[in-house]
Amino acid sequence: MADPSRAHDLVLFGATGFTGGLVAEHLARHAPPDTRWAIAGRNPAKLEAVRARLAAIDPRCADLPLLIADCDDPASMQALAESARVVVTTVGPYVLHGEPLVAACARAGTDYADLTGEPEFVDRTWLRHHETAVRSGARLVHCCGFDSIPHDLGVQFTVEQLPEGVPLEVRGFVRAEGRFSAGTYHSVVTGFGRVRENVRVAKERRAREPKPEGRSVRTVVSRPYREPAIDAWAVALPTIDPIVVARSARALERYGPDFRYAHHAWVRHLPVALAAGAGIAGLFALAQLPPARRLLLKAMASGEGPSEQQRARSSFTVRFTGVGGGRRVVTEVTGGDPGYEETATMLAQSGLCLALDDLPRTAGQVTTAVAMGPALRARLERQGIAFRVLESTAA
């Protein structure tokens, strides 16, 4: 339902960036005609260029409102938050640029969604803004792209195929083909250079965040092993995704009294995984040195991305095995280009879901499974992201 006290149902902040432009194009194609949406950024000329591109997709976008806002200007962030029911943002690295908008949305009671995969940022915003959002009614939903929607909603989908009220164990296996976005690369390099801050805020959150009563939730890290469900090697994948899954499991009793989750990369040949691990270790070491970190950040400029043809050749598959209550299931989530196309689809549909759908009543920092769950999954399925049961048998 439209809120007459807010000028817009949804505002996209960061529309002039590469991924932000893809989100804007998705909204131009798929937002219902009566959706009151706008694009925001700090450069009026670039915003006008984006609007002209959107008008070529849908002539109605010629009148799309343009909002001037800068993350370094708290007043503009507050004005932006107060103008909308939902704000979605692609402006990162979020640990450097994201907090003013989260704070403004928490104060204004405005729902918020982003593409972050940065644990420090997520933990910091919980520590500083979760309670404010609970009081205002705002839903702060991080990780609304490939980090971590396929994994969070995929595990929820898997759990729904298993019996209720029993211990459950789920394992996820990720295979992705395509380029990382410049924003993701910058976030990774920046995060590697902030290890102490990351550890500190994670420890503070663990000390303050309530645990579920009478239930146990744990993430499991295993050594590389050969997994029959994928006919390949499974190698532990230390991303934010298992953290998000565990937070959903703690919030939702449907995950059972004792829930375990393990998250893996899906690797055909073990030497490839070992080489990739060595490369990541080298990148981590370089990111500890400020001069080297600056050079790394210059290696991939924000706003750049692959061509439409390159994106069309990319895809992802996340397969899950779930066991509990005498049942075993194998499920799968599949889609196109994970770094750009599907990430843009996921964020745009998350914003529309928050703005337009009948959702469970919740507030504060919540995961996609808690805030939107099956409603968002249905939206993504209509956009071609598939959730399938491949196998369901007695354990």
pLDDT score of 247 more than 70: yes
Task: Give the whole-angstrom CA distance, residue 136 versus residue 184.
Answer: 30
Q: Is the Cβ–Cβ distance between 151 and 338 less than 8 Å?
A: no
Task: Give the whole-angstrom CA distance, residue 326 versus residue 342.
Answer: 35
pLDDT score of 306 more than 80: no
**H or E element in which residue 103 lies:** helix 99-108
* Cα 383 to the center of its chain, rounded Å: 17
Task: Give the whole-angstrom CA distance, residue 24 versus residue 54.
Answer: 7
Identify the pLDDT of residue 82.
Answer: 98
| Segment 56-113, tens digit of pLDDT | 999 999 999 999 999 999 999 999 999 999 999 999 889 999 999 999 999 999 999 9
Map tokens 């817009």 to a residue. Answer: 8
CA distance to 35, 56, 96, 121, 281, per residue, from 116 (Å): 25, 30, 11, 8, 22
In our burial notation (b when 16+ CB lie closer than 10 A, e otherwise), range 374-392 reads ebbbebbeeeebebeeeee
| Segment 171-220, tens digit of pLDDT | 999 999 876 666 666 666 666 767 788 899 999 999 999 999 999 999 99
User: What pLDDT band is residue 294 in, cutting at 50, 70 and 90?
Assistant: confident
User: What pLDDT band is residue 300 in, cutting at 50, 70 and 90?
Assistant: low
Radius of gyration (C-alpha) of the chain in whole angstroms: 20
Map tokens 């009220």 to a residue. Answer: 165
Task: Give the whole-angstrom CA distance, residue 9 versus residue 1.
Answer: 9
Identify the pLDDT of residue 71.
Answer: 95
Does domain 8-145+342-376 match CATH 3.40.50.720? yes
Q: Is the Cβ–Cβ distance between 50 and 21 less than 8 Å?
A: yes
pLDDT score of 27 more than 90: yes
Strands 111-114 and 66-68 turn out to be: unpaired
Comparing C-alpha atoms, which of 302, 186, 28 is closest to residue 12?
Answer: 28
Identify the pLDDT of residue 196.
Answer: 83
User: Residue 305 has which token pair?
Assistant: 């991305």
Identify the pLDDT of residue 5.
Answer: 85
**H or E element in which residue 136 lies:** helix 119-136
Please report the DSSP string for 14-41 in residue order. Answer: -TTSHHHHHHHHHHHHHS-TT--EEEEE
Q: What does the domain layout of the chain look like in residue ranges?
A: 8-145+342-376, 149-336+386-394
Identify the pLDDT of residue 188.
Answer: 66
User: What pLDDT band is residue 35 in, cutting at 50, 70 and 90?
Assistant: very high
Strands 315-324 and 216-220 turn out to be: unpaired
User: What is the average pLDDT value for the chain, to the nearest integer?
Assistant: 91
**H or E element in which residue 8 lies:** strand 8-13
Q: Report which DSSP code applies to 69.
A: -
Per-residue pLDDT, averaged over 292-300, amounts to 67
Q: Is the Cβ–Cβ distance between 288 and 196 less than 8 Å?
A: no
Q: Is the Cβ–Cβ distance between 119 and 95 less than 8 Å?
A: no
Residue 300 neighbours by CB distance under 10 Å: 17
Residue 123 neighbours by CB distance under 10 Å: 22
Per-residue pLDDT, averaged over 114-125, amounts to 96
| Segment 258-271, tens digit of pLDDT | 999 999 999 987 77
